[in-house]
Amino acid sequence: MSDQIVVGVIAGAFGVKGEVRLKSFCAVPEDIANYSPLTGENGVDYTIKITRTVKNGFAARLSGVRFKDEADALRGVKLSADRALLPSLPDDEYYHADLIGMDVFDTGGVEIGRVAAVQNHGAGDILELRGPKLKGSVLLPFTLDAVPTVDLSARRIIADPPEGLLD
């Protein structure tokens, strides 16, 4: 499991004074500031100060960012927090970073593939599976019916895919 968990992304500049538009992936969006400093995927640590709420996120000041062109250059940079700062999750909840790379088996023990990504387009999480027996990527709903077992310690998932999904 990763020591860093992605908690947000810089969506670009906000205004002309070096503020950024920040999109939070936290259950309580404002909590992203509590995990500061955050590490950008560019290797830079940023202290974050939320200045106000804006559509789809926050306007924020990042340490070391003073001008609009500097903020624009950070568009798309994912921000990660140290796992130790994040809250513990209940048994039936998982950080996406923990699921990526896990092997997926059907209820009969036959390997389906591996979790390549976890997506969420607003209607719930979806596991993107890839494997040698699959024709490209397969999107598996991350529901209790389709994924009855997640064993973090064994790094394996037992899935009961909907009829026809793997055909």
Confidence at residue 2, expressed as pLDDT on a 0 to 100 scale: 63
Residues of the chain with pLDDT under 50: none
CA–CA gap between residue 60 and residue 47 (Å, rounded):
10
DSSP state of 87: P
Q: What is the pLDDT of residues 35-71, one digit of tens each?
A: 989 999 999 999 999 999 998 899 999 999 999 999 9
Q: Is 109 left (phi over 0), alpha (psi -120 to 50) or beta?
A: left
Which residue type occupies 134? Answer: L
Q: Which CATH architecture has domain 96-159?
A: Roll (2.30)
The CATH code of the domain at 4-84 is 2.40.30.60
Element containing residue 132 per DSSP (H, E): none
Kindly state the tokens that stand for 167. Answer: 């055909």
Confidence at residue 104, expressed as pLDDT on a 0 to 100 scale: 96
CA–CA gap between residue 130 and residue 53 (Å, rounded):
38
Strands 45-46 and 48-54 come out as unpaired
For 96-135, b where at least 16 C-beta lie within 10 A, e where not — what string? bbbbeebebeeeeeeebbbbeebeeeeeebbbbbeeeeee
Where exactly are the structural domains of the chain? 4-84, 96-159
Confidence at residue 32, expressed as pLDDT on a 0 to 100 scale: 94
Using the Cα atoms of residue 77, residue 25, residue 94 and residue 44 in order, give the sign of their dihedral.
positive
Using the Cα atoms of residue 157, residue 160, residue 164 and residue 167 in order, give the sign of their dihedral.
positive
